[in-house]
Amino acid sequence: MAIFILSIGIISIAALFPAGILQQQRGTDDLIGAIVADNAFSIIQAAVQPDDFGSFADPVVTLSQVPNNVGAD
């Protein structure tokens, strides 16, 4: 009888391992996703300056402000 109860306990504990591994993988993915997003935001923030957008007072963009004269015929 004791061996039967012990075997049920061991099987129950063994069933928890796959669930724990899955939860650990999801947690790792969430953490790495946040790190990648923060890194991408920092790269974009470093590459783009506020002057690239002009201001609300001067919404006109001249052709010389467009990189490589995109749209120029």
List the structure tokens of 48. 């783009």
pLDDT at residue 40, as a whole number:
94
pLDDT of residue 47: 86
What pLDDT sits at residue 55?
63
Enumerate the domain spans of the chain. Answer: 2-69
Q: What are the φ and ψ backbone dihedral angles of 63, each rounded to 5 degrees?
A: -65, -30
Please choose, from the candidates 13, 63, 28, 66, the residue with its C-alpha nearest in 3D space to the C-alpha of residue 5: 13
Phi-psi region of 71 (alpha: psi -120 to 50; beta: other; left: phi over 0): left
Q: What is the pLDDT of residue 43?
A: 92
| Tens of each residue's pLDDT in the chain, 73 residues | 889 899 999 998 888 888 889 999 999 999 999 999 999 999 988 888 777 766 666 556 666 655 665 555 5
Fill in the amino acid letter for 48. Answer: V
Q: What pTM did the predictor assign?
A: 0.47
